[in-house]
A and B are shown apart, each in its own frame.
Chain A
Amino acid sequence: QQQVKQSPQSLIVQKGGISIINCAYENTAFDYFPWYQQFPGKGPALLIAIRPDVSEKKEGRFTISFNKSAKQFSLHIMDSQPGDSATYFCAARNSGAQKLVFGQGTRLTINP
């Protein structure tokens, strides 16, 4: 119930393309869904986050789409750039426990 499942494990996208990473969860008590970006040798950095009361949130080239009934959410990176090459983690948080649970990660490579 505390798991967040993320796919794909790795993704290669051409520069200028759209990168899409998907996550699914089971625990309906989760009420906050952030995405983290991690570069090699660095800690994860908060990229964008969404609450389940909205279906979409956009910040620049990054968009989260949220489907509450399907218990799925996804990250879309528009006009992907080589600098976006990193590992991306979805996560989910139960406000009561404040525990942040992470997906397995997606290694994204943007080819120039």
Chain B
Amino acid sequence: EAGVAQSPRYKIIEKRQSVAFWCNPISGHATLYWYQQILGQGPKLLIQFQNNGVVDDSQLPKDRFSAERLKGVDSTLKIQPAKLEDSAVYLCASSFPASLGAFFGQGTRLTVV
């Protein structure tokens, strides 16, 4: 079974530039999550989708971050404009609805300089 796929693996951008991350969840997983993991900290949930609807985006900085999930499958997370404090690993995870286990991708390491 293929895992959660994310791209790119690494990205370096200058502050005020924009960046987009892509995630392809495990086939059949209706729930998709985007987490931000700052170095030395636990993952922090940014947004949670159920199919293509948003379940929770309470911790998403909506002035600069946006996310969408087209047709309830792939998802993109965008940052515009980026700030230095956005430097982190962005993790995508997926699970079956009401399932207990969430499976994570390898993440995208973003460095903002």
Contact = CB atoms under 8 A, between A and B. Distances in A.
Contacts, number: 53
**Category for how many chain A residues contact B:** 20 to 34
Contacts of B42: 6, 89, 91, 102-105
Contact of A100 (B40, B45, B98, B106): B45
A95 B98 CA distance: 7
A32 B48 contact: no
Contacts of B103: 46
A30 to B, nearest CB: 12
B43 interface: yes
A71 interface: no
Contacts of B102: 46, 100
Secondary structure at chain A's binding surface: helix, strand, loop or mixed?
strand
A49 interface: yes
Nearest to B33: A100
Interface string B28-51: 000101000000111111001000
Given A43-B104, A45-B104, A97-B56, A105 B40 contact: yes
Contacts of A49: 100-101
B100 A43 contact: no
17 contacts: A32-B100, A41-B106, A43-B91, A43-B107, A46-B103, A49-B100, A49-B101, A93-B100, A97-B55, A97-B56, A98-B31, A98-B98, A99-B45, A99-B48, A100-B102, A102-B44, A105-B40
Interface of B: 4, 31, 33, 40-45, 48, 55-56, 91, 93, 97-98, 100-107
